[in-house]
Amino acid sequence: AQSAAGHRVLLWARDAQAAATMAATRRNTHYLPEAELPAALALTSDLAAAVAHGDDAGQGLIIVATPMAALRALLAQLPDGARVLWLCKGFEAGSGLLGHEIAREVQPRLRVGILSGPSFAQEVAAGQPTALVAASEDEALAQAAVQAFHGERLRVYTSADPVGVEVGGAVKNVLAIAVGTADGLRLRAEAAGDVANAPGLNARAALITRGLAEMLRLGLSLGARAETFMGLSGIGDLVLTATGDLSRNRRVGLLLAEGKPLAQILAELGHVAEGVYSAPTVLARARERGVDMPITEAVVAVLDGRLSAVAAIDRLMGRQARAEH
Ligand SMILES: NC(=O)C1=CN([C@@H]2O[C@H](COP(=O)(O)OP(=O)(O)OC[C@H]3O[C@@H](n4cnc5c(N)ncnc54)[C@H](O)[C@@H]3O)[C@@H](O)[C@H]2O)C=CC1
Ligand SMILES: O=C(CO)COP(=O)(O)O
């Protein structure tokens, strides 16, 4: 998309063979087979060259489009003052940190922001209409993201709430696993011709809405603004990921409901499902702050193999009655 917008884009891949194959075939057959790479897109496996190109003496934009697990190492290699946006969504496993917290820890002199929102990569690559949000405490950087990416097929809004945008992106992945699991149970029940007691469409709407309440509670406790969760990176991405079958996190849930072991699901997926890695850290950070996140808690227990999908629904339904807000 950036090439199409007329920018000089140099795409870095850590694997030299993969970079060479993409340069020759103009396809990324493993990760995005449907898309033809634009002719103007250059490729390299030389990180220093990619960083120098993206930094462009502080005038360019570096976009980190790796899983969350690679963000820390990449940020540490960027020069002082570089302008960087990342696309990854999650809490770092182990440290439990969000992207902007990692940046503050490893490279406080970067100018940082997040590009997030409901955006399946396949649809973006196909030029299908998409709306995103660029979030940064640095207003000029958010505007630079708009300059770079906003166009006929991609609307980019700005936000000054990176905390809210990152919490939304991280928590919606966990909730998509929950909704995928419930939908998987429904599909199984329908196939067996016995839907009595199975979670249906009512349950899906309840999980999305009560999940949004969990996201909001955690976000507020971390300093986010409430209105961010009503936006593209909150409810927008939650609806997309929880209900769209292109979602890898939703697919993890669908397969958990079939009783498949998590290790097998992840091996077959071939892509990252960030919710699997974020779920325990979301829960840990929520507990630190005394925030109640029962759906997240159920997802963690199902992923750990401590609770079956059916028992998770029963546990959520069996909770004590309370006020909605
Ligand atoms: N695929 C999508 O529709 C969207 C994904 N995201 C987020 O973007 C991030 C990346 O997602 P995808 O690209 O879809 O995942 P993916 O699993 O499909 O692809 C990951 C890519 O990162 C590379 N990679 C993995 N580990 C790396 C490392 N240590 N160093 C350098 N490169 C590494 C892989 O080779 C591959 O090219 C995730 O945090 C995801 O939540 C955000 C919006 C949409
Ligand atoms: O973040 C996404 C869409 O906005 C992609 O979701 P998945 O990682 O679940 O595929």
Is residue 2 very low, low, confident or very high in pLDDT (cuts 50, 70, 90)? low
- Residues 12-58 have pLDDT tens digits of 999 999 999 999 999 999 999 999 999 999 999 999 999 999 999 99
Domain contains 39:
yes
Identify which ligand lies nearest to the alpha carbon of 241. 2
ipTM over 0.90: yes
- Residues 87-145 have pLDDT tens digits of 999 999 999 999 999 999 999 999 999 999 999 999 999 999 999 999 999 999 999 99
For residue 241, the CA-to-ligand 2 centroid distance in Å is: 6
Domain contains 324:
no
Q: Is pLDDT of 282 > 90?
A: yes
Is residue 6 very low, low, confident or very high in pLDDT (cuts 50, 70, 90)? confident
Pair 207, 149 in one domain: no
CATH of the domain at 36: 3.40.50.720
Q: Is pLDDT of 201 > 80?
A: yes
Identify which ligand lies nearest to the alpha carbon of 89. 1
Domain boundary among the residues 160, 184, 215 is at 160
Pair 214, 116 in one domain: no
Q: Which ligand 1 atom minimizes the distance to the CA of 66?
A: 22
Pair 59, 128 in one domain: yes
Question: Which residues span the domain enclosing 18?
Answer: 10-160
Query: With helix as H, strand as E and coil as C, how does the chain read?
Result: CCCCCCCCCEEECCCHHHHHHHHHHCCECCCECCCCCCCCCEEECCHHHHHHHHHHHHCCCEEECCCHHHHHHHHCCCCCCCEEEECCCCCCCCCCCCHHHHHHHHCCCCEEEEEECCCCHHHHHCCCCEEEEEECCCHHHHHHHHHHHCCCCEEEEEECCHHHHHHHHHHHHHHHHHHHHHHHHHHHHHHHCCCCCCCCHHHHHHHHHHHHHHHHHHHHHCCCCHHHHHCHHHHHHHHHHHHCCCCHHHHHHHHHHCCCCHHHHHHHHCCCCHHHHHHHHHHHHHHHCCCCCHHHHHHHHHHCCCCCHHHHHHHHHCCCCCCCC
Annotated binding-site residue? 249: yes
- Residues 68-81 have pLDDT tens digits of 999 999 999 999 99
Domain contains 60:
yes
* Test site for ligand 1: of 14, 31, 46, 66, most ligand atoms within 8 A of the Cβ: 66
CATH of the domain at 269: 1.10.1040.10
The structure's pTM equals 0.98
Domain boundary among the residues 160, 183, 218 is at 160
Annotated binding-site residue? 248: yes
